[in-house]
């Protein structure tokens, strides 16, 4: 009897030991399953989490397909180019841009002009014009019942006469753009300082349709591993320009309409540009591409006349242009921002060039479909500036076409310099806001980690407590 009780007691102890081992194994199994579910859920919700965690947001080394590195671009832009360009675009010569704002969209029916007050570009009252510019103009913008932003000067338009205010320039058409630059019909002069590139409220299907048409029909993204550099150029230029436009919208954003409060929208800047490293890289590429066009045309730009009737300001513009073209720091640090001689070398070179030119002309024509007047203004200016850079680098070859000297129209030079200034501003914005955005994103990433640790602790306590009670039974 005693022996039977001993055997039964030993058997019960073995069963309880087995239960404990099974219980701890069960706890481990449950925790492993929950870990797997958590990790899967985390990366399913945010497929870019791994990329974002690994990407330090620091851009170093040579800019792809260019001849300068990121560090040099940041340094030269901040110390030399940005201050020069900021001063240059305020001079009378570079302040006024001739543009045809009222055009029919050649690709789809007009869906109506943007009626938002910040979309409109209105004419200045006659009292605002300088005496030199007060001659009557044959063409004027239709009012279309648009109001000048309740009298705010940001939407005002200044016009002048090309024949008197701007002399010594050729009337030549740009083969890379859709507008005929020699056609003065329905053209108006716009004071760019009074019409800043900023948030206008132009969003939704109409705005998306423009960029969809640009990328899907005229500027498809090159395939991964594409070795043909020519096929990359147009996409990277348009992507870089798109990034710059998005940065300017986010950097001058209407934060509170009721209070008319403007400021930086860092979340928008991150969502549109900074979270995508390729968009930042393409911004740098476009900047160096346009800078190369300016430096290549230095002989032409140095000898050009920058006369507007304001002697002091015109001398200032001439001096600033020379400082831009012959700056010793720029020449020492980045003498050749982009080497265009590497392109169009094969038998298919001329054909590829014609193809890109046709695609870019279509992109230029798409600017007439932009439903926001102020957006159309800056779209046309920057596309003309990019078209001028393409014209300088690819339409006039000093080796094979020396009998075709470079000829630029005044409007092309204004667009080119203003575009370089826009790109310069965008790179400076990226430099300034990246640390604060990175700090903010690090904070957002650390919060879920802390919450997740706390959740695991609660789960462990709950599951462990449950099984401990079961095992004690």
What stretch of H or E contains 99?
A: strand 96-99
> Is 311 annotated as ligand-binding?
no
Q: What are phi and psi of 252, to 5 degrees?
A: -135, 75
Cβ atoms within 10 Å, residue 9: 10
> What's the CA gap between 250 and 179, in Å, rounded?
29
Q: Verify whether residue 375 is a known catalytic residue.
A: yes
**CB distance 471 to 23 below 8 Å:** yes
Cβ atoms within 10 Å, residue 196: 12
> What's the CA gap between 308 and 18, in Å, rounded?
96
Which of 238, 252, 467 is closest to 366 using CA atoms? 238
> Is 272 annotated as ligand-binding?
yes
Cβ atoms within 10 Å, residue 171: 13
> What's the CA gap between 453 and 337, in Å, rounded?
49
**CB distance 128 to 156 below 8 Å:** yes
- What Å distances lie between residue 4 and 11, 14, 141, 313, 465, CA to CA? 11, 15, 110, 114, 35
> Is 200 annotated as ligand-binding?
yes
Of the candidates 66, 119, 334, 372, the residue annotated as catalytic is: 372
Cβ atoms within 10 Å, residue 10: 10
Which residues on adjacent β-strands are paired with residue 47?
none
Tokens of 339: 């080497």
> Is 242 annotated as ligand-binding?
yes
Residue corresponding to tokens 């797997």:
36
Q: Verify whether residue 372 is a known catalytic residue.
A: yes
> Residues marked as binding?
198, 200, 211, 239, 242, 272
> Residues marked as binding for FAD?
198, 200, 211, 239, 242, 272
Which residues form the catalytic set?
Answer: 372, 375
């Amino acid at each position: 009897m005693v022996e039977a009780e001993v055997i039964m007691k030993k058997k019960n102890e073995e069963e309880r030991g087995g239960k404990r081992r099974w219980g701890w194994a069960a706890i481990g199994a449950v925790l492993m399953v929950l870990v797997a579910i958590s990790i899967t859920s985390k990366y399913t919700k945010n497929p870019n989490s791994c990329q974002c965690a690994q990407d330090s947001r620091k851009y170093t080394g040579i800019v792809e397909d260019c001849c300068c590195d990121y560090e040099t671009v940041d340094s030269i832009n901040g110390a030399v180019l940005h201050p020069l360009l900021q001063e240059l675009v305020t001079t009378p010569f570079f302040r006024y841009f001739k543009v045809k704002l009222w055009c029919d969209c050649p690709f789809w029916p007009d869906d109506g002009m943007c009626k938002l007050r910040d979309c409109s570009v209105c004419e200045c009252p006659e009292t605002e014009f300088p005496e030199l510019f007060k001659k009557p103009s044959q063409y004027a913008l239709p009012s279309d019942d648009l109001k000048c932003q309740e009298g705010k000067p940001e939407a005002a338009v200044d016009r002048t006469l090309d024949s008197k205010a701007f002399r010594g320039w050729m009337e030549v058409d740009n083969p890379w753009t859709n507008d005929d630059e020699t056609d003065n019909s329905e053209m108006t002069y716009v004071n760019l300082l009074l019409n800043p590139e900023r948030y206008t409220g132009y969003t939704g299907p109409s705005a998306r349709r423009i960029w969809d048409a640009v990328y899907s029909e005229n500027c498809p993204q090159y395939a991964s591993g594409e070795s043909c550099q020519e096929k990359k150029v147009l996409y990277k230029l348009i992507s870089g320009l798109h990034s710059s436009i998005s940065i300017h919208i986010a950097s001058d954003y209407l934060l509170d309409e009721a209070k008319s409060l403007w400021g930086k929208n860092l979340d928008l800047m991150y969502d549109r540009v900074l979270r995508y490293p390729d968009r930042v890289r393409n911004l740098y590429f476009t900047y160096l591409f346009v800078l190369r066009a300016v430096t290549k045309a230095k002989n032409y730009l140095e000898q050009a006349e920058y006369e507007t009737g304001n002697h002091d300001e015109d001398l200032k513009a001439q001096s600033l242009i020379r400082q831009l073209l012959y700056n010793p720091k720029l020449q020492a640090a980045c003498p050749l921002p982009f080497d265009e001689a590497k392109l169009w070398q094969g038998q298919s070179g001329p054909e590829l060039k014609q193809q890109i030119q046709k695609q870019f002309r279509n992109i230029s024509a798409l600017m007439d479909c932009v439903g926001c007047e102020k957006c159309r203004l800056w779209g046309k200016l920057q596309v003309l500036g990019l078209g001028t850079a393409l014209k300088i680098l690819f339409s006039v070859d000093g080796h094979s076409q020396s009998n075709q000297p470079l000829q630029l129209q005044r409007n092309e030079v204004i667009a080119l310099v203003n575009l370089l200034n826009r790109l310069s501003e965008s790179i400076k914005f990226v430099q300034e806001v990246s640390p604060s955005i990175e700090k903010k994103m690090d904070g957002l990433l650390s919060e879920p980690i802390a919450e997740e640790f706390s959740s695991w602790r609660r789960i462990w306590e709950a599951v462990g407590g449950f099984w401990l009670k079961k095992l004690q039974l």
